[in-house]
Structure 1
């Protein structure tokens, strides 16, 4: 059975995870105001988690005969996450909303990976995506709770 669609989606994930990590790094660097002491280290935790998934999916792509994209240019061209220069005038609420939207996109993208791997009979890749999606969904829940109006 061919695994070309799985390889394509894995490469999409490589690009998206790379850009998502940069977006969170941007949030981490441009953070100011109430919640800084709590949110600053939380961004580190999010980046570490995404980097772990990035490594797993990249290595899986190599294992099944693919070649992960690996340059900033490739990440920017392939990723569907919009990362723009920022400044100090963006509120933390707006920054966190952008992080939340990114995680919601990743959940959808990981579901595509689950579906493709399942269709192509690749239970290992399906399992990696399933685990990653579970982690992303937990982060969505936590970010939703942080952004909830009290």
Structure 2
């Protein structure tokens, strides 16, 4: 825009260059595609939920007593050595819940990402600025 303004010869050209710049900003920030904005917002929300859950799980894991420590404070061979089977069961159940939670986030994120396919596929043909994004997302599933 700056370069175009330097060559403008009238206020009408300045307004025209400014309008072109604003339109380009709206398009390239995806502000003209509300359906796409909703999908991106959902992906962002899932990422924030995953980050919060991960942070909670990390803080929770700090509080989990180490089952492989022997009563004298020395560390055992890495196997679960506890005289309390319910404690071992509790940790195994917690690990399973953590794994299930992570897999749930992964499934939801992948489903939302895949739901972008038809939107980007149809929009990228009309809007060339979406081509790179569409190629990346449409090609992302091929790596799996």
- When normalised by structure 2's length, the TM-score is 0.43
Structure showing greater radius of gyration is 2
* RCO comparison, higher one (Cα < 8 Å, 6+): 1
